Amino acid sequence: MTVDAGQIGLEGTMGVLRKLLADHFGVSPSAHVADTDPLFSVGVGLTSLEGIEFLCEVEKLFNIRIKDLDWWTYETPTLAAVAQHVIDLTRQQHATS
């Protein structure tokens, strides 16, 4: 199933990402992941390998291609930042296809 982040908006996209974290990475749904929680270490607690797996799953789920990983590598990605990036990429990539 492919999800259109542009259609479901920021809150919907964050909801889908929270479900992905729960289903594939063992983040308990009862452990509320705040929009501004870092996805690594003290925040959600993903390892670097899990972070790459998460990005791969995000690409499949939203049918996008994440080409520039600088924002992921040099920033502290949060749920809100990833959701906004996914929405932006969805709009860019689907507009050109």
What are the DSSP calls for 56-96, one per residue?
HHHHHHHT------HHHHHS--BHHHHHHHHHHHHHHHHH-
Residue 37 pLDDT: 84
pLDDT digits over 21-74, tens only? 999 998 877 677 888 888 886 778 888 888 889 989 999 999 999 887 776 766
Judge whether residue 77 has pLDDT over 80.
yes
Domain interval for residue 66: 5-95
Please tell me the pTM assigned to this model: 0.86
pLDDT digits over 3-20, tens only? 999 999 999 999 999 999
d(CA 39, CA 78): 6
CATH of the domain at 19: 1.10.1200.10
Give me the number of domains the chain comprises.
1
d(CA 93, CA 97): 6
**pLDDT class for 97, splitting at 50, 70, 90?**
low
d(CA 53, CA 24): 9
